[in-house]
Amino acid sequence: MRIEMLVFDGLDEMDLLGPFEVWSHAARRTELEVALVGLDGPVEVTGLNGLQFRAPEGLGTPDALLVPGGGWLDRAEKGAWAEARRGVTTARIAELAPRLRFVSSVCTGSMLLAEAGLVKGRAATTNRDAWAELEAFGADVKQNRVVDDGDLVTAGGITAGIDLALHIVEREFSAEIADGIAATIEYTRDRDLHLVAAGN
């Protein structure tokens, strides 16, 4: 399974790097492949807090996609809000989503999924300061750290991305592998999960 992690200027670094750390460990233990990708090809990115890094590939045809947030709540000139206003990113997400095993987001990355038309009538979460906005898009907002609605998996604010990534590893591979990764990175899992399939 290949997960592509979409990057753009102004993203919150932790939204991206928490899941990237988890999935990089999973890639050494499973058939998972993880890649940082720019929308239109390789790209140099500067995050919300100034971290500079390079995504070596462009968005392709992955099995799954992760979208980070950042810059939404303060309507920053770069970040999720700016990407939504530009419209190109959300259009590509909307086009790609039906072919994916799942689309996931961390923090206000879910607002990009909302702008792409993916959350209406679906259980989802985001940064607590954006719950009302997400609800306005028709989402069934849950106040859990991670919300799994099958092919839509969303996480709350910033560090919740680690829990989302570990949940995906458990869901797609095994609890043993997920718990092993958590132990390796010395992280205590927060299992505050709303799982739609289980009717929680």
How do residues 19-66 score in pLDDT, each as one tens digit?
999 999 999 999 999 999 999 999 999 999 999 999 999 999 999 999
> Which tokens belong to 117?
């038309």
Structure tokens at 167: 């949940």
Q: Which secondary structure element, helix H or strand E, spans residue 36, and what is its range? A: strand 33-38
The superfamily (CATH) of domain 2-198 is Class I glutamine amidotransferase (GATase) domain (3.40.50.880)
Asked whether residue 156 carries a pLDDT value surpassing 80, the answer given is: yes
Cβ atoms of residues 34 and 45 within 8 Å:
no
Give the helix ranges, DSSP H, for the chain: 13-27, 80-86, 88-96, 109-115, 131-136, 160-172, 175-184
| DSSP string covering 99-147 | GSSEEEEETTHHHHHHHTT--TTSEE---GGGHHHHHHTT-EE--SSEE
**pLDDT at residue 198, rounded to an integer:** 62
Q: Write the burial class of residue 21 (CB in 10 Å: 0-12 exposed, 13-18 middle, 19+ buried).
A: middle
Per-residue pLDDT reduced to its tens digit, 108-122:
999 999 999 999 999
Exposed/middle/buried for residue 121 (C-beta within 10 Å: 0-12, 13-18, 19+): exposed
Give mean pLDDT, residues 61-78. Answer: 98
Look up residue 167 and give its DSSP letter.
H
Give the residue among 62, 66, 36, 63 at the shortest CA–CA distance from 167. Answer: 66
pTM of the model: 0.97
Active site members: 107
Q: Whole-angstrom Cα distance, residue 27 to residue 36? A: 14
